[in-house]
Structure 1
Amino acid sequence: MTLPLNPWLAATEAPPVMEARRWLEGVRFPPDRPLVNVSQAAPMEPPPEGLRQAIAEAALGRPEAHLYGPVLGMAELRAQIAAQWSASYGGAIEAAEVAITQGCNQAFCTVIATLARAGDEVLLPVPWYFNHKMWLDQQGIGAVPLPAGPGLIPEAAAAAARISGRTRAIVLVSPNNPAGVEYPAATLRAFFDLARAHGIALILDETYRDFAAAGGPPHDLFADPDWRGTLIHLYSFSKTYRLTGHRVGAIVADRARLAEAEKFLDCVAICPGQLGQIGALWGMRNLAQWVAGERAEILARGAAMAAGLARLPGWRLLGCGAFFAYVEHPHPLPAPDLARRLVREAGVLLLPGTMFRPAGDPRGARELRIAFANLGREGIATLIERLAAWQP
């Protein structure tokens, strides 16, 4: 007997990072040429010692850290986010307008659950973050591709033509995953105005905002007294404080939206992990200077990545920033075949552009995503050398 299977889940693509890891099976990497893994934006080092110490002390000395907490997260962390975000964005955010989630992916799934049902539509700029597309597919929600404009920056005018009576939200990621580009404040404002005019949500994922090249606040949307009811902001502590294993993300939205989010979160997690929240709160209070140093290092790695790619004949840099470079390769092979061969023949694991575009989009066959922030500058030099030496 075969048990039933949800057809929406069955039709969803396999997790791309896990699929790419399977390409490593049976491949041996000699000691003098270890694998260069640029497939995933995941810090390879643990959090700084002070943050780890704070978590360790809480694990040993705070019994409540091992118990259920509030569904929407620790009051202290919610208040800290509200205060810091209000200051950095020049707006007014209340603690009751912040929710903590088990990572930013859960934050996205949560807000979609409050906004849309099967048969509705959500606009996703392409190239898109594949987990966003996967969740929409699993829910039977239509992902409407929004082709990016020059510099891989989406345009509100193009989005307006794709809004229908079934559209419930527009999703933007800035700095972008997979392209690395930072969206200008004017672009974000144009999308906010468009969403408000149509009575739909603007979901703004700023997971990588702490590594943006531009100084100052990335936008003024929270300074708008009418941000509530249109803007939904997502954030992750994973990259900023190297807390990937602890899964700590956040949502900023109006109270009515979070009341609905609480229903969803109570069913899927009951509450976010206490120790991760304690670590995130300690980081926010104590690591501003350390984060500034991390940002400077990531920007230096981005510059090294861009300079290295400029030396590769035929390669074209489409976007670079935060943790990612998005490139067009010069080889006759389609990107998925090229990526698999690079594992075996060059000791490089990266992702093909087909994982970030709709099926059949020919541009994906020419594109690759490189998560360069995982490498030091020496590692980036090694990556460039291997790409330069490899021939199909």
Structure 2
Amino acid sequence: MTPTNPALATTFAPPVMEARRWLAGAEFPPDRPLLNVSQAAPVEPPPEPLRRVIAEAAMMRNEAHLYGPVLGNDDLRETLSASWSRFYDHPVAPDRVAITQGCNQAFCAAIASLAGAGDEVIIPVPWYFNHKMWLDMQQIRAVPLCCGPDMVPRAGDAAALIGPRSRAIVLVTPNNPTGAEYPADTLREFYELARAHGLALIVDETYRDFDSRDGPPHDLLRQHGAEETLIQLYSFSKVFRLTGHRVGALITGPQRLAEIEKFLDTVAISTGQLGQIAAEWGLRNLTGWVASERQEILGRADAMREATRDLPGWKLLSAGAYFAWVEHPFDQGAEVIARHLVREAGVLMLPGTMFMPDGEGRQAMRIAFANIDRQGIATLTARLAGFSRNGAANART
């Protein structure tokens, strides 16, 4: 047998793909179709004007089919830097922006510039599973940082985890998987901690456009030394529904981008042109549409909070952006309950065990509610209530 990379072999399977396998052999009658709340991705295509831009570029722009600059097209970097500067009310030059094949690649590039095998990166628990997977593949130790009851981590707790091999602290806000929005003061405390210890602070802001707060959610770009300490990650996948085009971004200092360019050139050479063209056009022309999308998602979050308030036995711990993090009321573990829900309630959601260290998360579930409308949320909670009443698992009293 040919060799297998042990670091890859011991990395857990992709959770969303694993959950989809639970659908094999399951039947969903017309009066109870599957409700899929397992993946945080828009199920609708981009708005029609954006699709027309993509189609025209594919037909009329020869450069749309060629390699581009490794760090991204100049026009997109310039437009994003201007947008970023307006949003955070602080200047960000284009030479601080890199365009990546999705936000996952931005995270991988950031980590590759910071750490190697045997180093440590502090990540909040529950974690975003692709972050944990990449660290495992690189043989970088993920040091779990427990969150408080509000699902927000504390800088004071992180301070106790810093050691000689620590290289970075990772935060995701609004959070995947919990939906929690981290307060600006919390982010500033983490920044000060990271800078004091010579660490990088990586802030994944994939869901920034669906934050319930108006205006910038933090002032980290204004802090002394931000170009060296702060690495911001962003995604166009959610805001413009460009998941299939894989366009993300990374904002940091030019010196780090010189290292990141090496990584990007090796794994992708350049991000796809059609996605970059779409993202640049969207930044200039879809401000009103994005505002409308944000209000719709915030409305769904409100509906999720309201619907779970009277859900027997279930407890909502946090909700925001695309997600709700809940506790189920059963004695059986979350993965067992998740499998039962597919066949007995027609619901596919991810168990908390997929976001936690081994042995943890047995009572937790993640609901990606942004993919269903308000009526779908009402249907979801009705099915969960019916599942509880029918005793499909041994309920805790």
Q: Report the TM-score, using the length of structure 1 for normalisation.
A: 0.98
Task: Tell me how far 1:91 sits from its aligned partner.
Answer: 1.4
Task: Tell me how far 1:150 sits from its aligned partner.
Answer: 3.1
Give the secondary structure class of the aligned counterpart of 2:316: strand
Residue 332 (structure 2) aligns with: 333
Q: What aligned pairs does 1:61-210 form with structure 2 within 5 A after superposition?
A: 61-210=60-209
Residue 291 (structure 1) aligns with: 290
Identical-residue share of aligned pairs (%):
65
Does 2:39 match 1:7?
no
Residue 232 (structure 2) aligns with: 233
Q: Distance in 2 between matches of 1:269 and 1:10?
A: 23
Does 2:380 match 1:386?
no
Task: Tell me how far 1:225 sits from its aligned partner.
Answer: 4.5
Task: Tell me how far 1:226 sits from its aligned partner.
Answer: 2.1
Residues 59-112 of structure 1: CA distance to partner in whole angstroms, max 9, x if unpaired? 111101101000000000001111111111121211011000000000000110
Aligned AA (1:173): V
Identify the range of structure 1 (171-180 vs 214-223) with the bigger mean alpha-carbon deviation: 214-223
Give the secondary structure class of the aligned counterpart of 2:111: helix
Identify the range of structure 1 (79-88 vs 240-249) with the bigger mean alpha-carbon deviation: 79-88
Quick check: 2:149–2:317 contact (8 Å CA) kept in 1?
A: no
Which 4+ runs in 1 deviate beyond 4 A?
A: none
Aligned AA (1:131): N
Quick check: 1:86–1:222 contact (8 Å CA) kept in 2?
A: no
Give the secondary structure class of the aligned counterpart of 1:4: coil
Give the secondary structure class of the aligned counterpart of 1:152: coil
CA RMSD of aligned residues (A): 0.7
Aligned counterpart in structure 2 of residue 377 of structure 1, from 367, 374, 377: 374
Give the secondary structure class of the aligned counterpart of 1:128: coil
Q: Distance in 2 between matches of 1:82 and 1:162?
A: 34
Name the count of aligned residue pairs.
389
Aligned AA (1:380): I
* 5+ residue gaps, structure 2: 393-397
Task: Tell me how far 1:222 sits from its aligned partner.
Answer: 1.0
Task: Tell me how far 1:224 sits from its aligned partner.
Answer: 2.4
Residue 60 (structure 1) aligns with: 59
Q: Distance in 2 between matches of 1:89 and 1:225?
A: 15
Residue 219 (structure 1) aligns with: 218
Q: Distance in 1 between matches of 2:13 and 2:230?
A: 30
Aligned counterpart in structure 2 of residue 367 of structure 1, from 348, 364, 367: 364
Q: Report the TM-score, using the length of structure 2 for normalisation.
A: 0.97
Quick check: 1:126–1:148 contact (8 Å CA) kept in 2?
A: yes
* 5+ residue gaps, structure 1: none
Aligned AA (1:317): L
Q: Distance in 2 between matches of 1:374 and 1:380?
A: 9
Quick check: 1:91–1:224 contact (8 Å CA) kept in 2?
A: no
